[in-house]
Amino acid sequence: MNKLKSLLVAAFLLVSVASFAQTGTVKIGYTNANYIISQLPESRQIESDLKAASSQFEKELQNKYKDYEAKAKAYQAGVSTMTDVIKADREKELMNLRTQIEEFQRNADASLQKKEQTALEPVMNKIQKAIDETAKENGYTHIFTAEALLYGPEDGNNFTDLVLKKLGVTPAPKGAAPTTSPAASSKPAGTTAPVKKK
């Protein structure tokens, strides 16, 4: 499926290049939105918030498991002396607890996913605005995601660096935190559509 997607993108690119070749200059670039996100200071805060929420859910889940295990152990210890009515009641209680644990886990996963999407939306809008402006300022006619690229120069990360510069971020060496210029940190996030993955 991914190969087909890549081939369709490549075919679109060839058609676009052919049509633009008749009318004017084509300048194509590609960028990696995930890398840009990782370089923004906001990403550290988002990651921290998600980690905190995940830890709270994990703690609550562990408490629910402990409660279930204690009741299951008590059931196993006393099952031989229980009447049929009490035995059925305890079994029903254990089944309900197990269902509650599974439902809690599903709800926690959905909540974390929604929290991540909500937190990333303004960041993606900010990145899309920077991509749009950088492309226009530097004469690019097409910008593709790095994931859609079938072949390109190894130093093809130049457009990503231009976008980071537009955002006021100097890409950090591995293991170091990115730096932001004071001018960029005061810029509004923008309201254009989020970066579309192809």
Is residue 42 in a domain?
A: yes
Model confidence band, residue 25 (pLDDT cutoffs 50, 70, 90) = confident
Scored b (16 or more CB within 10 A) or e, 19-37 reads eeeeeeeeebbbbbbeebb
Model confidence band, residue 154 (pLDDT cutoffs 50, 70, 90) = low
Is residue 197 in a domain?
A: no
Domain count of the fold of the chain? 1
- Select the more confidently predicted residue: 47 or 170: 47
On whether the CB atoms of residues 44 and 180 are closer than 8 A, the answer is: no
Predicted confidence (pLDDT) at residue 50 exceeds the cutoff of 90: yes
pLDDT at 173: 63
Is residue 195 in a domain?
A: no
Is residue 82 in a domain?
A: yes
* Full-model pTM: 0.63
Domain that holds residue 123: 2-185
As a whole-number percent, the residues of the chain with pLDDT over 70 amount to 72
Is residue 194 in a domain?
A: no
First to last CA, the chain: 13
Token match 């990696």: residue? 32
pLDDT at 11: 44
